[in-house]
């Protein structure tokens, strides 16, 4: 078996286990057993559990971004539709049961029991997402709005999605409250609530929405 195939097998297993069980509970022995390799192979290819975890969260994030947030690279979508697509992507990723949904699980675990990678994830994932959302809300306005004002809107989006993620993950293995809801209607509800709040927010400051 080639080195690349071994690397990929180890990394895929690590993504799965770090997502399902969490960094603190997963061991190199657990990963090696499921990947059907010896411990020496894991250490040879990745050096340590920490380096393997870093590779796993980055790969998981890349998969989630490609699957649910490819629209971010397009300049042909209106700001309002971008915000709605962002919310839809976040909620769909949270409920995704395939590899494309591993990163929300990892993010949930970082929020509830942080690891050494927490600061990097904040700097490379969470903060850039907030800045992008901030830019989209600003695009909805014909004049510039102070950053501290649009941050209220950004916080509303991120906190709503984070709440859903935490509540959903807390119910793993048990009947989930969210399982009873129509997901598409739920996404529409959150999107309409945020956009309506944004327009009210703008109207109060006599700013015209594009």
Q: Residue 205 is inside which H or E element, if any?
A: none
For residue 36, the SS3 value is coil
Residue-level pLDDT at 74: 72
Nearest CA to 170 out of 94, 87, 90 is that of: 94
What are phi and psi for residue 141, nearest 5 degrees? Answer: -105, 145
Q: What is the pLDDT at residue 140?
A: 83
The HSE-up count of residue 147 (CA atoms within 13 Å, CB side) is 4
Would you state the pLDDT for residue 33?
96
pLDDT tens for each residue of the chain, 210 residues long: 445 589 999 999 999 999 999 999 999 999 999 999 999 999 999 999 999 999 999 999 999 999 999 888 777 889 999 999 999 999 999 989 899 999 999 999 999 999 999 999 999 999 999 999 988 888 887 656 666 778 888 998 998 888 888 887 775 545 566 667 788 888 999 999 999 888 776 666 555 445
Q: Which domains does the chain have, with CATH numbers?
A: 61-204 (1.10.357.10)
Q: 28: exposed, middle or buried (C-beta count within 10 Å: 0-12, 13-18, 19+)?
A: middle
pLDDT, residue 166, reads 84
Give the Cβ contact number of residue 135 at 10 Å. 13
In the chain, what are the helix, strand and coil shares in percent, each to the nearest 5?
A: 75, 0, 20
CA distance 130 to 164: 17
Tell me what pLDDT residue 100 has.
96
Q: Which residue has the tokens 């990963």?
A: 31
Residue 177's pLDDT is 64
pLDDT of 128 reads 93
């Amino acid at each position: 078996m080639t080195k690349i195939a071994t690397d990929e097998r180890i990394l895929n297993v690590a993504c799965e286990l770090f997502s399902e069980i969490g960094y603190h509970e997963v061991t190199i022995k657990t990963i090696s057993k499921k990947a059907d390799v010896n411990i020496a192979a894991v250490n040879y290819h990745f050096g340590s559990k920490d380096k393997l975890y870093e590779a796993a969260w980055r790969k998981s994030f890349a998969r989630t971004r490609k699957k649910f947030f490819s629209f971010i690279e397009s300049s042909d979508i209106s700001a309002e539709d971008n915000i709605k697509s962002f919310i839809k992507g976040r909620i769909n990723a949270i409920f995704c049961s395939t590899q494309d949904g591993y990163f929300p699980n990892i993010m949930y675990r970082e929020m509830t029991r942080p690891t050494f990678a927490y600061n990097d994830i904040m700097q490379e994932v969470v903060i850039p997402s907030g800045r992008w959302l901030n830019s989209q809300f600003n695009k909805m306005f014909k004049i510039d709005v102070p950053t501290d004002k649009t941050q209220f809107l950004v916080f509303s989006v991120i906190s709503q999605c984070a709440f859903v993620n935490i509540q959903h993950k807390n119910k793993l293995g048990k009947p989930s409250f969210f399982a009873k809801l129509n997901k598409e209607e739920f996404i529409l509800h959150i999107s309409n609530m945020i956009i309506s709040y944004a327009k009210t927010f703008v109207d109060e400051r006599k700013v015209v929405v594009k």
